[in-house]
Amino acid sequence: MPKKMKTSRTVNASELDIRELPDGIAFKVRVQPRSSKNAITGIMGDSLKINLTSPPVDGEANAACLAFFAAYMGLPKSAVSIIGGQKNRSKIIKITGVDKNIFLNNLSGGI
């Protein structure tokens, strides 16, 4: 019987693809909509895996994703945007006004 592969695991910052931009950072996420709670659940490849309660209908999951990261980082919603993957589960999130070290410190403290 083949072993089942795990798709998420504990967050190891070295595995994430986080790009520093002149005005903030950008990173990849893999969204799992219609989950029981909003949470960061680990890493999938080079992406941060997050679960969201919203369904992937009419941009609800995108709005929930933006609101989640704004609240997680303690920033206004206007500081967070999706710069890639509007209609996919794999997205690129941009957070303005945050550097890589601040983001990684929040990740290591929140998981």
Q: What's the CATH code of the domain at 96? A: 3.30.1200.10
Domain assignment present for residue 59? The answer is yes
Residue 107: the pLDDT is 87
For 57, the domain range is 13-19+26-101
* pLDDT (0 to 100) of residue 12: 64
Could you tell me if residue 49 is inside a domain? yes
Instruction: Count up the domains in the chain and report the number.
Output: 1
| Token digits of residue 18 | 């986080």
The reply to whether 1 falls in a domain is: no
Which of 6, 54, 47 lies closest to 66, judged by CA?
A: 54
CA–CA separation, 18 and 12 (whole Å): 12
> Has residue 51 been placed in a domain?
yes
89 is a domain residue = yes
Give the mean pLDDT per block of 10 residues along the chain (111 residues).
Answer: 36 81 97 95 93 94 96 96 96 96 84 50
Residue 14 pLDDT: 73
d(CA 45, CA 35): 20
Look at residue 80 in the predicted model and tell me its pLDDT: 98
Residues β-bridged to residue 21: 24
